[in-house]
Amino acid sequence: MRSLTTAATGMLAQQLNVEVISNNIANASTTGFKRQRAEFADLLYQDQRRVGTQSSDSGTIVPAGIQIGIGVKPVSVYRINEQGNLQPTDDPLSIAIKGRGYLQVTMPDGTTAYTRDGQLKVDDTGQLTTADGFPIVPGITIPADATGISFNADGQVEVTIPGQVNAQLLGQVQLANFINPAGLDAVGDNLLVETQASGAPITGNPGDVGFGNIQQNFLETSNVNMVSEMTDLITAQRNYEMNSKVVQASDDMMSTVVNMRS
């Protein structure tokens, strides 16, 4: 019976849906996390009577054929790049991107990764890094005697030096943007890497056309909506149960046929 395999594809699809939703809920407190959505498509159809074929020698056409669907398949897990809320912090090294763009990070192998996580730190050499110690691009080094640091909306970094009246400009935070940010590959630790689907990075300063601004003393929260996720979870669970009922009904029908007595 086709219904057995069709319902099985439905159960597998809803299992994937629940896994995606559970990952969203698990990362509800992850800085800069972007929620994901599973997307599905119907499988090929089997034609028992093809629509549009001739039904007689006189040329009459079948107006509505018989097509039997054989289930569903997952086609993508799409990342939704909506802006998260900005949460204030007391850490002057915390920055949030309000708008489009990613911070650039140099990985240990020399490649560049991208992140929306603005929980910056200072390493033993004074370089601005991520929480895992990966330096941001372009590199900015904080003097050991600096008593204060500020990031303006355009990404310029200034520090206060004892004995100096004016603040000292250290450098400029740059952002990277992509034609298709959903095509970036998530590698964990709040990091994304470029793929052929994302396109090459386009770099610019915060505040430029197409780029967001920098907000100091703020962090971007995840864009997970818990009410929406719980609603989607209940829906996925009900869909899974309904597909399991189809399997049970198909099994009962097969048992009826096997147990028939002449």
Give residue-wise pLDDT tens across range 113-131.
Answer: 999 999 999 999 999 999 9
Say whether both 40 and 65 belong to one domain. Answer: yes
Tell me, letter by letter, the H, E, C secondary structure of the chain. CHHHHHHHHHHHHHHHHHHHHHHHHHCCCCCCCCCEEEEEEECCEEEEECCCCECCCCCCECCCCEEEECCEEEEEEEECCCCCCEEECCCCCEEEEECCCEEEEECCCCCEEEECCCECEECCCCEEECCCCCEEECCCECCCCCCEEEECCCCEEEEECCCCCCCEEEEECCEEECCCHHHCEEEECCEEECCCCCCCCEEECCCCCCCCEEEECEEECCCCCHHHHHHHHHHHHHHHHHHHHHHHHHHHHHHHHHCCCC
Q: What are the tens digits of pLDDT across the range 27-44?
A: 999 999 999 999 999 988
Say whether both 91 and 214 belong to one domain. Answer: yes
Q: Is the peptide bond before 138 cis (omega within 30 degrees of 0)?
A: yes
Q: What is the residue type of 35?
A: R
Say whether both 141 and 186 belong to one domain. Answer: yes
Which of 78-92, 168-182, 219-233, 247-261 has the weakest average pLDDT? 247-261
What was the pLDDT predicted at 262? 52
* pTM score, whole prediction: 0.86
Q: Which of 173, 95, 92 lies closest to 136, judged by CA?
A: 173
Say whether both 216 and 228 belong to one domain. Answer: no
| Reported confidence tier of residue 16, pLDDT bands at 50, 70, 90 | very high
Say whether both 29 and 125 belong to one domain. Answer: no
Structural domain that includes position 12: 2-81+224-258
Say whether both 92 and 214 belong to one domain. Answer: yes
Say whether both 72 and 95 belong to one domain. Answer: no
Q: What is the mean pLDDT of residues 78-101?
A: 95
How far is the C-alpha of 86 from the C-alpha of 82, rounded, in Å?
12
Question: CA geometry: angle at 73 spanning 72 and 76, to 5°?
Answer: 135
Neighbours of 179 (CB within 10 A): 11
Indicate whether 187 pLDDT > 60. yes
Residues 6 or more apart whose Cβ sits within 8 Å of residue 85: 220, 221, 223
Alpha-carbon separation of residue 101 from 14, 16, 32, 126, 213 (angstroms): 33, 29, 12, 25, 9
Say whether both 189 and 112 belong to one domain. Answer: yes
Indicate whether 151 pLDDT > 80. yes
Number of domains in the chain: 2
Q: Percentage of the chain with pLDDT > 90? A: 76
Which of 6-10, 65-69, 144-148 has the weakest average pLDDT? 65-69
Say whether both 191 and 92 belong to one domain. Answer: yes
What's the mean per-residue pLDDT of the chain?
92
What was the pLDDT predicted at 261? 63
Say whether both 180 and 114 belong to one domain. Answer: yes
Q: What are the tens digits of pLDDT across the range 90-112?
A: 999 999 999 999 999 999 999 99
Say whether both 250 and 216 belong to one domain. Answer: no
Q: What are the tens digits of pLDDT across the range 193-214?
A: 999 999 999 999 999 999 999 9
Which segment, 159-163, 219-223, 250-254, 258-262, is predicted with the most confidence on average?
A: 219-223
**Contact (Cβ atoms closer than 8 angstroms) between residue 24 and residue 229:** yes
Say whether both 166 and 198 belong to one domain. Answer: yes
Q: What is the mean pLDDT of residues 249-254?
A: 87
Q: What is the mean pLDDT of residues 242-248?
A: 93
| Reported confidence tier of residue 58, pLDDT bands at 50, 70, 90 | confident
Alpha-carbon separation of residue 45 from 2, 49, 124, 187 (angstroms): 11, 11, 62, 36
